[in-house]
Amino acid sequence: MTQPTTKIPISSIILDEDIYPRKGIDPRRVGIFAENIRDGFQFEPIEVEPDPGKPGRYRLLDGAHRWSAYKSTGVAEVEAVIKDLDGTDPLLYAAKKAIGPKQLTEDEARDTARRAYTRNSSLSSADIGKAIGRARRTVDSYIADLKAATQMGMDIKIFRMNRLGIPQDRIAKRLGQAREVIRDHLAKMAVLPNPPNTDLSKGFTVSQVAEKHNWTEPMVWSLALEDKEDLERFKELGWGLRTWDQWEWNDCDKRFGDDWPGRIPAQLIAHILFYFSKQNDLVLDPMAGGGVTPDTCLALSRRCWAFDMTDRPKTRPEIEPHTWTPAPDQHLSWPVSSKEKADLIIFDPPYFDKKAADYDRKSISGLPKKEYLEFLEAFFALLKLNAKKTTRLAFINADWRDFQSKPAAEESGKGAILIDDYLRILNKTDWQHTHIIQAPMSAQRFSAVVVAAMQKKRILGVTSRYVIVLKQIG
Protein backbone atom coordinates (compact mmCIF):
# COMPACT_ATOMS: atom_id res chain seq x y z
CA MET A 1 0.00 0.00 0.00
CA THR A 2 1.37 3.40 -1.02
CA GLN A 3 1.92 5.63 1.97
CA PRO A 4 1.01 9.32 1.77
CA THR A 5 3.98 11.62 1.32
CA THR A 6 4.66 15.26 2.12
CA LYS A 7 7.23 17.65 0.74
CA ILE A 8 9.42 18.94 3.54
CA PRO A 9 12.55 21.16 3.54
CA ILE A 10 15.78 19.18 3.38
CA SER A 11 17.14 21.55 6.05
CA SER A 12 14.49 20.37 8.53
CA ILE A 13 15.78 16.78 8.48
CA ILE A 14 18.55 15.61 10.82
CA LEU A 15 20.52 12.39 11.04
CA ASP A 16 20.24 11.46 14.71
CA GLU A 17 23.00 8.91 15.35
CA ASP A 18 21.13 7.78 18.46
CA ILE A 19 18.63 6.02 16.17
CA TYR A 20 20.95 5.37 13.20
CA PRO A 21 21.98 1.69 13.02
CA ARG A 22 25.01 2.03 10.75
CA LYS A 23 28.53 3.14 11.66
CA GLY A 24 28.56 5.86 9.03
CA ILE A 25 27.48 6.97 5.58
CA ASP A 26 29.23 5.48 2.56
CA PRO A 27 30.47 8.45 0.46
CA ARG A 28 30.75 6.29 -2.65
CA ARG A 29 27.09 5.29 -2.43
CA VAL A 30 26.12 8.94 -1.87
CA GLY A 31 28.09 9.90 -4.97
CA ILE A 32 26.28 7.32 -7.09
CA PHE A 33 22.90 8.51 -5.81
CA ALA A 34 23.85 12.13 -6.51
CA GLU A 35 24.64 11.24 -10.13
CA ASN A 36 21.29 9.45 -10.39
CA ILE A 37 19.50 12.55 -9.09
CA ARG A 38 21.25 14.78 -11.64
CA ASP A 39 20.19 12.32 -14.36
CA GLY A 40 16.54 12.72 -13.30
CA PHE A 41 16.12 9.38 -11.51
CA GLN A 42 13.22 9.32 -9.03
CA PHE A 43 13.96 7.64 -5.70
CA GLU A 44 11.50 6.21 -3.21
CA PRO A 45 10.48 8.79 -0.56
CA ILE A 46 12.61 8.89 2.55
CA GLU A 47 11.00 8.11 5.91
CA VAL A 48 11.17 10.44 8.91
CA GLU A 49 9.53 10.95 12.27
CA PRO A 50 8.95 14.26 14.08
CA ASP A 51 11.91 14.99 16.36
CA PRO A 52 10.48 14.74 19.91
CA GLY A 53 12.80 17.45 21.21
CA LYS A 54 12.82 19.88 18.29
CA PRO A 55 9.48 21.14 16.94
CA GLY A 56 9.48 21.51 13.18
CA ARG A 57 12.42 19.12 12.76
CA TYR A 58 12.44 15.50 11.61
CA ARG A 59 14.68 12.52 12.40
CA LEU A 60 15.65 10.19 9.57
CA LEU A 61 14.32 6.65 9.81
CA ASP A 62 15.16 5.44 6.31
CA GLY A 63 17.11 6.98 3.45
CA ALA A 64 20.28 8.46 4.96
CA HIS A 65 22.25 8.03 1.72
CA ARG A 66 19.44 9.49 -0.40
CA TRP A 67 19.16 12.42 2.03
CA SER A 68 22.92 13.04 1.81
CA ALA A 69 22.76 12.90 -1.98
CA TYR A 70 19.86 15.36 -2.08
CA LYS A 71 21.85 17.76 0.12
CA SER A 72 24.96 17.47 -2.03
CA THR A 73 23.00 18.30 -5.19
CA GLY A 74 21.31 21.35 -3.67
CA VAL A 75 17.76 19.97 -3.52
CA ALA A 76 15.65 22.22 -1.26
CA GLU A 77 12.64 19.94 -0.62
CA VAL A 78 12.12 16.18 -0.69
CA GLU A 79 9.20 13.81 -0.68
CA ALA A 80 8.97 12.13 2.72
CA VAL A 81 6.73 9.73 4.59
CA ILE A 82 6.20 11.15 8.07
CA LYS A 83 5.82 8.17 10.38
CA ASP A 84 4.07 7.89 13.72
CA LEU A 85 5.84 4.90 15.28
CA ASP A 86 3.30 4.69 18.11
CA GLY A 87 5.73 3.27 20.67
CA THR A 88 7.90 1.26 18.29
CA ASP A 89 11.60 1.74 19.04
CA PRO A 90 12.87 4.11 16.29
CA LEU A 91 16.34 2.53 16.35
CA LEU A 92 14.96 -0.95 15.65
CA TYR A 93 12.56 0.43 13.04
CA ALA A 94 15.47 2.14 11.28
CA ALA A 95 17.54 -1.05 11.53
CA LYS A 96 14.78 -3.12 9.93
CA LYS A 97 14.53 -0.63 7.06
CA ALA A 98 18.32 -0.53 6.69
CA ILE A 99 18.75 -4.26 6.11
CA GLY A 100 16.61 -4.09 2.99
CA PRO A 101 19.30 -2.86 0.59
CA LYS A 102 22.29 -4.11 2.58
CA GLN A 103 22.68 -6.29 5.66
CA LEU A 104 24.07 -4.67 8.79
CA THR A 105 27.69 -5.58 9.44
CA GLU A 106 28.46 -7.69 12.50
CA ASP A 107 29.65 -4.59 14.42
CA GLU A 108 26.55 -2.61 13.38
CA ALA A 109 24.19 -5.44 14.37
CA ARG A 110 25.88 -5.91 17.75
CA ASP A 111 25.95 -2.18 18.47
CA THR A 112 22.29 -1.74 17.48
CA ALA A 113 21.20 -4.70 19.61
CA ARG A 114 23.06 -3.38 22.64
CA ARG A 115 21.78 0.16 22.22
CA ALA A 116 18.19 -1.05 21.82
CA TYR A 117 18.37 -3.30 24.88
CA THR A 118 20.02 -0.57 26.96
CA ARG A 119 17.16 1.79 26.08
CA ASN A 120 14.48 -0.80 26.79
CA SER A 121 15.43 -3.94 28.74
CA SER A 122 11.94 -5.39 28.24
CA LEU A 123 12.72 -6.06 24.56
CA SER A 124 13.16 -9.75 23.80
CA SER A 125 16.11 -11.15 21.85
CA ALA A 126 13.63 -12.35 19.23
CA ASP A 127 12.20 -8.83 18.76
CA ILE A 128 15.65 -7.34 18.39
CA GLY A 129 16.74 -10.16 16.07
CA LYS A 130 13.83 -9.58 13.69
CA ALA A 131 14.78 -5.92 13.37
CA ILE A 132 18.52 -6.42 12.77
CA GLY A 133 18.36 -9.62 10.73
CA ARG A 134 19.98 -11.92 13.30
CA ALA A 135 18.93 -15.11 15.09
CA ARG A 136 17.70 -14.91 18.68
CA ARG A 137 20.73 -16.90 19.90
CA THR A 138 23.07 -14.44 18.21
CA VAL A 139 21.31 -11.50 19.88
CA ASP A 140 21.61 -13.33 23.22
CA SER A 141 25.37 -13.40 22.76
CA TYR A 142 25.40 -9.68 21.91
CA ILE A 143 23.56 -8.61 25.07
CA ALA A 144 24.45 -11.32 27.59
CA ASP A 145 26.41 -8.96 29.86
CA LEU A 146 23.70 -6.29 29.64
CA LYS A 147 21.05 -8.83 30.65
CA ALA A 148 23.17 -9.90 33.58
CA ALA A 149 23.52 -6.32 34.75
CA THR A 150 19.82 -5.60 34.27
CA GLN A 151 18.86 -8.59 36.36
CA MET A 152 21.26 -7.75 39.16
CA GLY A 153 19.61 -8.59 42.46
CA MET A 154 19.27 -6.27 45.44
CA ASP A 155 22.05 -7.99 47.37
CA ILE A 156 24.50 -7.73 44.50
CA LYS A 157 23.64 -4.06 43.92
CA ILE A 158 24.24 -3.30 47.60
CA PHE A 159 27.45 -5.35 47.58
CA ARG A 160 28.72 -3.42 44.57
CA MET A 161 27.87 0.01 46.00
CA ASN A 162 29.20 -0.85 49.45
CA ARG A 163 32.47 -2.12 47.96
CA LEU A 164 32.86 1.22 46.18
CA GLY A 165 32.51 3.07 49.48
CA ILE A 166 29.08 4.62 48.95
CA PRO A 167 27.53 5.44 52.38
CA GLN A 168 24.48 3.54 53.58
CA ASP A 169 22.13 6.54 53.45
CA ARG A 170 22.95 7.12 49.78
CA ILE A 171 22.59 3.42 48.97
CA ALA A 172 19.15 3.48 50.58
CA LYS A 173 18.11 6.58 48.66
CA ARG A 174 19.47 5.23 45.38
CA LEU A 175 17.65 1.90 45.70
CA GLY A 176 14.46 3.37 47.17
CA GLN A 177 14.78 1.39 50.41
CA ALA A 178 14.71 2.24 54.09
CA ARG A 179 18.11 2.42 55.79
CA GLU A 180 17.07 -0.48 58.04
CA VAL A 181 16.52 -2.65 54.95
CA ILE A 182 19.97 -1.76 53.62
CA ARG A 183 21.51 -2.52 57.01
CA ASP A 184 19.87 -5.96 57.03
CA HIS A 185 21.19 -6.68 53.54
CA LEU A 186 24.68 -5.50 54.48
CA ALA A 187 24.75 -8.20 57.14
CA LYS A 188 24.85 -10.74 54.30
CA MET A 189 27.83 -9.13 52.58
CA ALA A 190 30.43 -11.29 54.36
CA VAL A 191 29.04 -14.54 52.91
CA LEU A 192 27.75 -13.24 49.55
CA PRO A 193 31.13 -13.71 47.78
CA ASN A 194 31.54 -17.31 48.98
CA PRO A 195 30.02 -19.11 45.95
CA PRO A 196 31.97 -17.06 43.37
CA ASN A 197 35.16 -17.42 45.42
CA THR A 198 34.68 -21.17 45.60
CA ASP A 199 34.47 -21.41 41.82
CA LEU A 200 37.51 -19.16 41.40
CA SER A 201 39.47 -21.46 43.71
CA LYS A 202 38.48 -24.41 41.50
CA GLY A 203 40.12 -22.77 38.50
CA PHE A 204 37.09 -21.28 36.76
CA THR A 205 37.86 -18.10 34.81
CA VAL A 206 36.52 -14.72 35.86
CA SER A 207 34.18 -14.59 32.85
CA GLN A 208 32.85 -18.09 33.63
CA VAL A 209 32.19 -17.18 37.26
CA ALA A 210 30.53 -13.90 36.26
CA GLU A 211 28.18 -15.68 33.86
CA LYS A 212 27.36 -18.47 36.31
CA HIS A 213 26.54 -16.21 39.26
CA ASN A 214 25.04 -13.32 37.30
CA TRP A 215 27.74 -10.90 38.43
CA THR A 216 29.55 -8.38 36.28
CA GLU A 217 33.17 -9.18 35.43
CA PRO A 218 34.60 -6.17 37.34
CA MET A 219 32.84 -7.40 40.49
CA VAL A 220 34.36 -10.86 40.11
CA TRP A 221 37.76 -9.31 39.41
CA SER A 222 37.46 -7.45 42.72
CA LEU A 223 37.23 -10.87 44.40
CA ALA A 224 39.85 -12.62 42.27
CA LEU A 225 42.42 -9.88 42.96
CA GLU A 226 41.71 -9.54 46.69
CA ASP A 227 44.84 -8.74 48.76
CA LYS A 228 47.06 -8.41 45.69
CA GLU A 229 49.36 -5.45 45.09
CA ASP A 230 48.67 -3.14 42.14
CA LEU A 231 51.47 -4.58 40.00
CA GLU A 232 50.06 -8.09 40.47
CA ARG A 233 46.61 -6.83 39.49
CA PHE A 234 47.94 -5.29 36.27
CA LYS A 235 49.60 -8.61 35.41
CA GLU A 236 46.45 -10.66 36.13
CA LEU A 237 44.33 -8.29 34.05
CA GLY A 238 46.74 -8.51 31.12
CA TRP A 239 47.56 -4.80 31.15
CA GLY A 240 51.14 -3.85 30.43
CA LEU A 241 52.23 -0.98 32.68
CA ARG A 242 53.43 2.12 30.79
CA THR A 243 56.32 3.78 32.59
CA TRP A 244 56.64 6.85 30.36
CA ASP A 245 54.37 9.79 29.58
CA GLN A 246 52.71 8.26 26.50
CA TRP A 247 49.90 5.80 27.17
CA GLU A 248 48.49 4.12 24.07
CA TRP A 249 46.42 0.99 23.47
CA ASN A 250 44.90 -0.58 20.39
CA ASP A 251 41.39 -0.59 21.84
CA CYS A 252 39.24 -0.27 24.95
CA ASP A 253 39.12 -3.26 27.31
CA LYS A 254 35.51 -4.34 26.77
CA ARG A 255 35.35 -6.05 30.17
CA PHE A 256 35.10 -2.63 31.84
CA GLY A 257 32.43 -0.03 31.15
CA ASP A 258 29.46 0.01 28.80
CA ASP A 259 29.30 0.90 25.12
CA TRP A 260 29.19 4.69 25.37
CA PRO A 261 29.94 7.77 23.26
CA GLY A 262 33.58 8.73 23.77
CA ARG A 263 34.31 5.59 25.79
CA ILE A 264 37.82 5.62 27.25
CA PRO A 265 40.00 2.56 27.89
CA ALA A 266 39.96 1.02 31.36
CA GLN A 267 43.73 0.76 30.92
CA LEU A 268 43.91 4.56 30.89
CA ILE A 269 41.91 4.87 34.12
CA ALA A 270 44.01 2.09 35.68
CA HIS A 271 47.24 3.98 34.94
CA ILE A 272 45.85 7.15 36.53
CA LEU A 273 44.88 5.11 39.59
CA PHE A 274 48.27 3.41 39.75
CA TYR A 275 50.35 6.57 39.65
CA PHE A 276 48.13 9.00 41.55
CA SER A 277 46.24 6.98 44.18
CA LYS A 278 46.59 4.10 46.63
CA GLN A 279 44.32 1.16 47.41
CA ASN A 280 41.23 2.19 49.43
CA ASP A 281 41.61 5.84 48.36
CA LEU A 282 38.39 7.64 47.41
CA VAL A 283 38.08 8.47 43.71
CA LEU A 284 35.45 10.89 42.38
CA ASP A 285 34.15 10.64 38.82
CA PRO A 286 31.71 13.54 38.29
CA MET A 287 30.73 12.56 34.72
CA ALA A 288 30.90 8.76 34.80
CA GLY A 289 29.20 8.00 31.46
CA GLY A 290 29.56 4.29 30.69
CA GLY A 291 31.03 3.43 34.09
CA VAL A 292 34.65 2.68 33.17
CA THR A 293 36.00 4.42 36.30
CA PRO A 294 33.89 2.60 38.92
CA ASP A 295 34.47 -0.73 37.14
CA THR A 296 38.24 -0.16 37.16
CA CYS A 297 38.14 0.99 40.78
CA LEU A 298 36.51 -2.33 41.69
CA ALA A 299 39.37 -4.23 40.04
CA LEU A 300 42.07 -2.07 41.65
CA SER A 301 40.49 -1.82 45.12
CA ARG A 302 39.70 1.89 45.14
CA ARG A 303 36.52 3.38 46.47
CA CYS A 304 34.58 5.42 43.94
CA TRP A 305 31.75 7.94 43.97
CA ALA A 306 30.40 8.35 40.46
CA PHE A 307 27.74 10.68 39.05
CA ASP A 308 26.12 11.20 35.66
CA MET A 309 23.10 12.96 34.15
CA THR A 310 21.90 9.69 32.58
CA ASP A 311 20.15 7.65 35.27
CA ARG A 312 20.41 3.84 34.95
CA PRO A 313 19.38 2.41 38.33
CA LYS A 314 18.92 -1.13 36.97
CA THR A 315 22.29 -1.50 35.27
CA ARG A 316 24.41 1.13 37.02
CA PRO A 317 23.18 1.60 40.59
CA GLU A 318 26.61 2.89 41.65
CA ILE A 319 26.37 5.89 39.28
CA GLU A 320 24.18 8.37 41.11
CA PRO A 321 22.10 10.80 39.00
CA HIS A 322 23.21 14.42 38.96
CA THR A 323 23.01 17.13 36.31
CA TRP A 324 25.85 19.62 36.54
CA THR A 325 24.64 22.05 33.91
CA PRO A 326 22.71 24.74 35.80
CA ALA A 327 19.48 26.46 34.93
CA PRO A 328 19.77 30.16 33.95
CA ASP A 329 20.90 32.40 36.84
CA GLN A 330 21.82 29.38 38.98
CA HIS A 331 25.19 28.15 40.15
CA LEU A 332 26.63 24.65 39.86
CA SER A 333 25.76 22.53 42.87
CA TRP A 334 27.71 19.72 44.58
CA PRO A 335 25.80 16.41 44.43
CA VAL A 336 26.35 15.18 48.00
CA SER A 337 26.71 16.49 51.51
CA SER A 338 29.71 14.74 52.99
CA LYS A 339 32.67 15.56 55.19
CA GLU A 340 34.82 13.08 53.29
CA LYS A 341 36.55 14.46 50.20
CA ALA A 342 38.13 12.63 47.31
CA ASP A 343 41.82 11.76 47.15
CA LEU A 344 41.67 11.77 43.36
CA ILE A 345 39.19 13.30 40.89
CA ILE A 346 39.03 11.80 37.41
CA PHE A 347 37.22 14.21 35.10
CA ASP A 348 36.56 13.00 31.57
CA PRO A 349 33.83 15.35 30.27
CA PRO A 350 32.09 15.10 26.89
CA TYR A 351 34.54 16.73 24.51
CA PHE A 352 33.58 19.94 22.75
CA ASP A 353 31.42 19.27 19.65
CA LYS A 354 32.85 15.75 19.26
CA LYS A 355 29.99 13.19 19.20
CA ALA A 356 27.60 15.90 20.42
CA ALA A 357 24.77 14.18 18.54
CA ASP A 358 25.39 10.97 20.54
CA TYR A 359 25.06 12.56 23.96
CA ASP A 360 22.00 13.74 25.87
CA ARG A 361 20.70 17.07 24.57
CA LYS A 362 21.66 18.70 27.89
CA SER A 363 25.29 17.62 27.47
CA ILE A 364 27.97 20.30 27.52
CA SER A 365 29.37 18.84 24.27
CA GLY A 366 26.85 20.82 22.22
CA LEU A 367 27.50 24.18 23.90
CA PRO A 368 29.09 27.03 21.92
CA LYS A 369 32.84 27.36 22.51
CA LYS A 370 32.55 30.32 24.90
CA GLU A 371 29.91 28.62 27.04
CA TYR A 372 31.80 25.31 27.03
CA LEU A 373 34.93 26.96 28.43
CA GLU A 374 32.89 29.04 30.90
CA PHE A 375 31.28 25.86 32.19
CA LEU A 376 34.66 24.20 32.67
CA GLU A 377 36.02 27.25 34.50
CA ALA A 378 33.07 27.23 36.92
CA PHE A 379 33.38 23.47 37.31
CA PHE A 380 37.10 23.56 38.14
CA ALA A 381 36.41 26.25 40.75
CA LEU A 382 33.67 24.06 42.26
CA LEU A 383 36.01 21.05 42.38
CA LYS A 384 38.59 23.08 44.28
CA LEU A 385 36.01 24.15 46.87
CA ASN A 386 35.09 20.51 47.48
CA ALA A 387 38.57 18.97 47.43
CA LYS A 388 41.31 18.47 50.01
CA LYS A 389 44.59 20.33 49.72
CA THR A 390 46.20 17.02 48.74
CA THR A 391 43.56 16.03 46.16
CA ARG A 392 44.89 15.39 42.67
CA LEU A 393 42.78 16.18 39.59
CA ALA A 394 43.19 14.13 36.42
CA PHE A 395 41.53 16.02 33.56
CA ILE A 396 41.10 14.12 30.29
CA ASN A 397 40.38 16.00 27.08
CA ALA A 398 41.51 16.48 23.50
CA ASP A 399 42.38 19.26 21.09
CA TRP A 400 39.43 20.31 18.94
CA ARG A 401 40.01 21.82 15.51
CA ASP A 402 37.46 22.39 12.77
CA PHE A 403 39.45 20.38 10.22
CA GLN A 404 36.46 18.87 8.37
CA SER A 405 36.85 19.27 4.58
CA LYS A 406 39.52 21.92 5.12
CA PRO A 407 43.21 21.68 4.13
CA ALA A 408 45.49 22.06 7.15
CA ALA A 409 47.15 25.18 5.72
CA GLU A 410 43.75 26.90 5.45
CA GLU A 411 42.64 26.34 9.06
CA SER A 412 42.34 29.66 10.86
CA GLY A 413 42.31 28.25 14.39
CA LYS A 414 39.60 30.75 15.29
CA GLY A 415 37.10 28.20 16.58
CA ALA A 416 39.63 25.74 18.00
CA ILE A 417 39.94 24.66 21.62
CA LEU A 418 43.44 23.43 22.39
CA ILE A 419 45.26 22.21 25.47
CA ASP A 420 46.47 25.80 26.02
CA ASP A 421 42.86 26.91 26.60
CA TYR A 422 42.33 24.23 29.23
CA LEU A 423 45.60 25.04 31.00
CA ARG A 424 44.69 28.72 31.06
CA ILE A 425 41.37 28.21 32.86
CA LEU A 426 42.81 25.53 35.15
CA ASN A 427 45.50 27.94 36.26
CA LYS A 428 42.92 30.70 36.65
CA THR A 429 40.98 28.48 39.08
CA ASP A 430 44.13 27.69 41.12
CA TRP A 431 44.96 24.26 39.70
CA GLN A 432 48.60 23.76 38.70
CA HIS A 433 49.55 20.95 36.35
CA THR A 434 52.28 18.53 37.35
CA HIS A 435 52.03 16.11 34.41
CA ILE A 436 50.78 16.21 30.82
CA ILE A 437 50.47 12.67 29.48
CA GLN A 438 49.75 11.82 25.87
CA ALA A 439 46.99 9.20 25.55
CA PRO A 440 45.86 8.97 21.90
CA MET A 441 42.27 7.95 21.25
CA SER A 442 42.48 4.17 21.16
CA ALA A 443 39.07 3.54 19.63
CA GLN A 444 39.44 6.09 16.80
CA ARG A 445 39.11 4.33 13.45
CA PHE A 446 39.16 5.68 9.88
CA SER A 447 38.25 3.79 6.73
CA ALA A 448 40.67 3.66 3.82
CA VAL A 449 38.23 5.79 1.78
CA VAL A 450 38.19 8.54 4.43
CA VAL A 451 41.99 8.47 4.80
CA ALA A 452 42.47 8.70 1.03
CA ALA A 453 40.07 11.66 0.81
CA MET A 454 41.86 13.44 3.66
CA GLN A 455 45.24 12.87 2.05
CA LYS A 456 44.02 14.16 -1.29
CA LYS A 457 42.77 17.39 0.30
CA ARG A 458 45.73 17.67 2.74
CA ILE A 459 43.41 17.50 5.75
CA LEU A 460 45.11 16.93 9.11
CA GLY A 461 42.79 15.15 11.54
CA VAL A 462 42.84 14.83 15.32
CA THR A 463 43.39 11.71 17.40
CA SER A 464 45.23 13.50 20.20
CA ARG A 465 44.10 13.22 23.80
CA TYR A 466 45.81 14.34 26.99
CA VAL A 467 45.67 13.43 30.66
CA ILE A 468 46.48 16.62 32.57
CA VAL A 469 47.25 15.87 36.23
CA LEU A 470 47.03 18.81 38.62
CA LYS A 471 47.38 19.82 42.24
CA GLN A 472 46.04 22.89 43.98
CA ILE A 473 48.09 26.09 43.95
CA GLY A 474 49.08 27.27 47.40
What are the tens digits of pLDDT across the range 144-165?
A: 877 766 555 788 899 999 999 9
Note the CATH number of domain 225-472. 3.40.50.150
Band of the pLDDT at 314, cuts 50, 70, 90?
confident
Is the domain covering 6-148 a CATH 3.90.1530.10 domain? yes
Q: Please give the angle made by the CA atoms of 185, 186 and 189, to the nearest 5 degrees.
A: 105
Band of the pLDDT at 26, cuts 50, 70, 90?
confident
Nearest C-alpha neighbor of 86 from the set 57, 54, 49: 49
Please report the DSSP string for 85-122 in residue order.
Answer: -TT--HHHHHHHHHTTTSPPPHHHHHHHHHHHHHH-TT
The answer to whether residues 336 and 170 touch, using CB atoms and an 8 Å cutoff, is yes
The answer to whether residues 295 and 218 touch, using CB atoms and an 8 Å cutoff, is yes
Which CA distances in Å does 207 have to 202, 212, 229, 423? 14, 9, 22, 41
CA dist., res. 439 & res. 447, Å (int): 21
What are the tens digits of pLDDT across the range 53-75?
A: 788 899 999 988 889 999 999 98
CA dist., res. 231 & res. 225, Å (int): 11
The answer to whether residues 413 and 461 touch, using CB atoms and an 8 Å cutoff, is no
CA dist., res. 7 & res. 387, Å (int): 56
Q: Report if pTM > 0.85.
A: no
pLDDT at 4: 85
Q: Which of the given ranges, 15-24, 148-157, 289-298, 320-329, has the highest pLDDT on average?
A: 289-298
In the sheet with 46-50, reading across from the earlier edge strand, the strands are: 6-9, 77-82, 46-50, 58-62, 13-14
Nearest C-alpha neighbor of 397 from the set 454, 441, 445: 441
Q: Where does 164-238 have alpha helices with state H?
A: 168-175, 179-186, 194-201, 206-213, 217-224, 230-237
Which CA distances in Å does 77 have to 8, 50, 214, 277? 5, 16, 52, 57
What are the tens digits of pLDDT across the range 170-209?
A: 999 998 888 888 888 888 888 989 999 999 999 999 999 9
% of the chain at pLDDT higher than 90? 44
Q: Is 70 exceeded by the pLDDT of residue 327?
A: no
Name the segment(s) of the chain with CATH classification 3.40.50.150: 225-472
Name the segment(s) of the chain with CATH classification 3.90.1530.10: 6-148
